[in-house]
Every structure is written in C-alpha cells, then in structure tokens.
Amino acid sequence: MQKFTLLLLTLILFGPLGIDLYLPVLPEIATGLGAPISLMQLTIPLFLLIMGLGQLVAGPLVDNFGRKPIALLGIALYLAGSVLAASVTSWPLFFLARVIQGCAVCCTAVVSFSGVRDRLEGEDAARAYSFLNAALNIVPALAPLLGGLLSASFGWRAPFWLLSLYALVIGMLMVFLLPETKPPGTLRSRGIPLRQYGLIIKRPEFLAFAAANAGVMGMVLTYVSLAPEVLMNQGKLSPLQFSFAFGANGFWIMFFSILVNKMIRKVGRPACLLAGSLAQLCAALILLAEFSLLPAETQSAWYCYMLPVVIACAGLAWTVGPATSYALEPWPQQAGVASALMGFIQMAGGASVGMLIMALPLNEKNALMLMMLLGTLLCALAWRMSKKMRGTITSL
C-alpha cells in the first residue's frame, strides 16, 4: 500500500509543480514574452480553473476506461504542454500551454483521488488524503527555490524543460508500476454523466464538504497570487528571499499535515474540521488587527503577511483530509465521477471565488482577509454537517 500511495503522490505532484516551479520567474516570463506582469499572473488561476472544469470530463473517463489509461493520457498531455511552454515566443501560446497542462492535471488528479477511494474507507482514507496533502506540500517548499536557481542559470524556460523531463520519467514508471484499481462494479457512463453529477451534488453533505475544500483552496490561491507583490514589491524581499519565505510555509504545511494525520484517529474528523474553521478565523482577525493597530511601514513587513498565512494554512491541513474522505465515502461505485465533481468544486470554485475577490477594489491583505472569512464559514458548515455523519468500519 505504501508503494501504491507513493505512485499516487507522483501523479498529484503534477499540479503544484505546474504552479510553484515557475512562480518566482513570472516577471522574467512577462519580460521575455513582452506581456504585462498582471496578465501573466492570470495564468495561475487559469491553470486551476481548467483543472476544475476538466475534471468533469476526466471523471467519467476514469470510470469508463480505467485509472491507468487516463493517468497515462494526462501525463502525455502534460509533457506536450510543458514542451510548448518552454518553446513559446508569444504570450497567447504560453496561455495555450497552460491550458493543456491544466487539462493534463485534471486527469492525474482524478486518478489519484479515485485510487485512494478504491482501496480505503473512512478514517483510513482521511489519513491517506492527509498524507498526500502533507507530502505534496514539499513542492511549494522547494519548487520556487529550484525554479529560481534554474532560471538564474539557464533562463526562464528551464523550469518548463524540467517539467517535461518529470512527465517523461513518471510516465515510464506508471507504465510498469501503476496497477488498475477500478472496482469490477463501477458504473459506466456515456458522455458527461450529468444525471450522476446531479444526483451527487443534490446531497447536501457532499456539497458542504466539497465547498469547505473550495474555501481553503481559494484562500491558498489568493495567498499565492498576491505573494510576489506583497513580499517582493512591498516587503522588499529579493527573489531568493521570497523563495525561502514561500518554501518555509510549504514545509510548515507538510509538517502540520503529518501531525493532523496522526490526530484524526484520536480526536475524530469533526474536531479537525472545527479546528480548520477556527484557524482561518484567527488568521483573519490577526490581519484585521495589523491593519487597525500597526503603522503603515510595519504593515508592509513580510512577516505581517506570512504570520496569518501560516495559521490559515494550518486550517488547510486540518480541513482537506477529513472533508475529502467525508465527501467521497458514500460513492464506492462512482469514485471517479464523485472525485471529478469534488475536484471541480474545489478547483474551479476556489479559483473563481479567488479571482472575484482579487478583482474587488481592495488592497492585497484585505482581499486575503475576506477569503479567510469565507473559508471560515464554509469549514464551519462542513463541521456542522459532519456531526450528522456516521463513520464506517472497514472489514479486515
């Protein structure tokens, strides 16, 4: 099971690698392609939005054709998109490359979550999701630094050549090592299964838990999108210092997710959801206190931004595993479709709300505070819903 989980982890990593590896070099990409930095920043939410929308298609494909073929299809698309991104000479082609990468990641993400659901249930599944969340956070811990070093040595195209190499290597591993886990009784669908999606989304508990994940995802998206402006332009950090600050938070999420993984069995999933809501509320109140009490020159310090972010990201770690396991638990024969719908709500919902809040006439910290408050509300609703759920016992 450990080898299988690690294989799923390599598939999940396509998503964060596609964001964090090139984050420190966004200004260089904008200069190299002759585009404004504000336009290039949109490639981050665009990537996540495509991930969310594409999962509505990838879900039924995974249930119809199996986990392994769709994983290999996603890896092939990722390779093509990465090669295109490394070769472009204009920003419209770069946007096209990001769309292709987003379509690829929706395939690998659905396979990963479906694979866990195929093999595990209840608290075991929650612990697996928490482990995956913990492990994948090593990417935001190390990828910005690696991307910055590659760019400094070989130019801004180098991170995308590295993504191409990663896709090639992981594709070869999947061909030989990834087992097919689709249950024999999996329901097949023709086209996009709107009826199945409708039946699942009508369940208020599914919607509540998926919305909680969307809330924390929107918080992270807002933090990531605004971090270069707040930390480098306002906080006066160099690109290397930015990479260390950004990476330290990734290690923090990884450490805290491991801690949550051990806590789930002791305190239960509802308590973790409540803690996730309270952590985001605490972070929002700290931002409000900084804005109200501190002088302007102190507010621009990098630590005034990162302290509430660290607390809110602890809320992310408390939320993702329990909410994901609760959302997918009732759908053993429709794991692909349910995973796709959850991914759509989480990614597309989080990206859309994050883009909307960032478009409001608010400064960066107020926009982040508003997103944290929304995440607080959604996680609290998920906690209330979890009080009505009954756990399951996995027969051995």
pLDDT-derived band at 127 (thresholds 50, 70, 90) equals low
With the CA atoms of 43, 45, 51 and 54 taken in that order, what torsion angle do they form, in degrees rounded to the nearest 10?
-90
375 versus 239: the higher-pLDDT residue is 375
Q: What is the pLDDT of residue 123?
A: 63
Q: How confident is the model at residue 394 (pLDDT cuts 50, 70, 90)?
A: very low
Q: CA nearest 129: which of 272, 388, 323? A: 323
156 phi/psi in degrees, rounded to 5: -70, -15
Q: Binning pLDDT at 50, 70 and 90, where does residue 327 land? A: confident
Instruction: Give the pLDDT band of residue 393 (cuts 50, 70, 90).
Output: very low
Surface-to-core class of residue 258, CB atoms within 10 Å of its CB (0-12 exposed, 13-18 middle, 19+ buried): middle
The CATH architecture that domain 2-182+191-386 belongs to is Up-down Bundle (1.20)
pLDDT > 70 fraction of the chain, expressed in percent and rounded: 88
Burial class (CB in 10 A: 0-12, 13-18, 19+), 358: buried
**Predicted local distance difference test score (pLDDT) of residue 45:** 79
pLDDT tens profile 144-153: 778 878 887 8
Residue 316 near residue 276, CB atoms below 8 Å = yes
Read off the pLDDT of residues 159-183 as tens digits, 9 standing for 90 and up.
999 999 999 999 999 988 888 777 6
Convert the pLDDT of each residue in 255-278 to its tens digit.
Answer: 787 788 778 778 888 999 999 999
pLDDT digit string (tens) for 339-370?
778 878 887 888 888 878 877 888 888 999 99
Assess contact for 237 and 245: CB atoms under 8 A: yes
CA–CA distance, 117 with 121 (Å, rounded to integer) = 7
Top mean pLDDT of 9-13, 121-125, 368-372, 385-389 is at 368-372
Least confident of 61-70, 128-137, 173-182, 295-304: 128-137
CB atoms within 10 A of CB 34: 9
Q: What is the CA radius of gyration of the chain?
A: 20
Give pLDDT tens digits for 46-90. Answer: 888 888 788 778 877 887 788 889 999 999 999 999 999 999 999
> What does the pLDDT read at residue 197?
80
